[in-house]
Amino acid sequence: MMSSAFTFHVRRALCTATLGLAVLACNNKRVSRIEPTSVTDLSGRWNDADSRLVANELITQSLAGPWIAQFTSARGSAPTVIVGDFRNKTMEHIAVGTFVRDLERAFVNSQSVRLVASAAERQDVRAERADQQTNAAAETRSKIAREQGAQYMLQGDVQAIVDAEGSEKVVYYQVDATMIDLESNAKVWVGQHKIKKYIDRRRIGW
């Protein structure tokens, strides 16, 4: 009698465990490659689509501005630019490097602007050059004190204004970029792009 009750309990426990596993198995993970240019807004926070929008706009504005042609005609060569600080002044984590790199790529590939390594990047280059002076063959050494000085510095920032009420939220991003003459501090180009997002978090709706 005792053994038949025990067997019943064991069977019930096994059935429950199997059912539990079956339910858990339904919560499966799906990974797929999607088009990088597609807009995929999940949380409403800053994402890759925003970065691309900003990059496109700043590239168009900066390369279409008259400052490059004016410099080239006055000095006989393309202006040299160094990328300075791009600050994220929002409360959100924003990877400003993504659109700044896009901007750099546009400058270099369009051949309208010469780009020199930024303060952080050139430390490694200088260390390598210094090492070459000791270890590299004389005819293959990179010469010292031949760095190209920049005429302009690109600086910028990202700012955000958030307005929320209940389940609704509006986030406004403003990205400003400025090209500053390193000798005179004159701002020769100012670029700007604005993004406004409306986020509705209602659970039920029609």
For residue 139, give the DSSP letter: G
User: CB-wise, 58 or 129, nearer to other proteins?
Assistant: 58
- CA gap 123, 62 in Å, rounded: 28
Is 40 a residue that touches other proteins (CB under 8 A)?
yes
**CB–CB of 47/173 below 8 Å?**
no
Q: Point out which span in 12-20, 87-95, 124-132, 181-189 binds other proteins (CB under 8 A).
A: 181-189
- Are the C-beta atoms of 63 and 72 separated by less than 8 Å? no
- Nearest approach, Cβ of residue 19 and other proteins (Å): 28
Of the candidates 138, 139, 173, which has an alpha carbon nearest to the alpha carbon of residue 156? 173
State the minimum distance, in angstroms, from the CB of residue 28 to other proteins. 22
Radius of gyration of the chain (CA): 28
Whichever of 57 and 176 has its CB closer to other proteins, that residue is: 57
> Distance between CA 132 and CA 155 in Å, rounded?
32
Residues from 126 through 155 that contact other proteins (CB under 8 A):
none
In the complex, minimum distance from the CB of residue 118 to other proteins, in angstroms, rounded to a whole number? 20
Any idea what DSSP says for residue 27?
S
Site string for other proteins, 75-104 (x = CB under 8 A): xxxx-----------------------x--
For residue 81, count other CB atoms closer than 10 A to its CB.
24
Closest contact distance (angstroms) between CB of 34 and other proteins is: 10
Measure the CA–CA gap between 96 and 93, rounded to whole angstroms.
Answer: 9
Residues of this chain that interact with other proteins (CB under 8 A) are 35-41, 49, 52-53, 55-56, 59-60, 63-64, 68-78, 102, 105-106, 109-112, 165, 167-168, 170, 181, 184, 186, 188, 198, 200, 202-206
